[in-house]
Amino acid sequence: MTFHGELAGGKDMNIHWIQEQLDQAGALRNFTKWDYELLQTENLQHLMQRVFQVAAPQPTGTVYIMLPREVLMERRNGIPAISAARHSIL
């Protein structure tokens, strides 16, 4: 995503460009129920909720989440919990 030091984890070596996989999930898309690339951590709690919503129903299956280096390097002080009542059937 970045390459001039704008964010921690940006591409700062030639090998990062050589090893870049433009469609990383494409290699396993036929074997998963869902794939997604998280570009910002602001909606991480919603993403994780969605992951379980997709993976858990029968037939259960895998999901694949891609996290760029910049996202992995961000500091987090916790993830706010979402109320389970938000998705209750009642």
Q: Is residue 83 part of a domain?
A: no
Identify whether the C-beta of residue 43 lies closer than 8 Å to the C-beta of residue 13: no
Task: Give the pLDDT confidence score for residue 40 in this predicted structure.
Answer: 81
Q: Is residue 68 part of a domain?
A: yes
Q: Mean pLDDT for each 10-residue chunk of the chain (90 residues)?
A: 59 60 80 90 83 90 86 72 58
Identify whether the C-beta of residue 78 lies closer than 8 Å to the C-beta of residue 10: no
Q: Is residue 53 part of a domain?
A: yes
* Total tally of structural domains belonging to the chain: 1
Q: Is residue 19 part of a domain?
A: no
**pTM score, two decimals?**
0.64
Task: Give the pLDDT confidence score for residue 45 in this predicted structure.
Answer: 81
Domain with 59 in it: 1-11+26-77
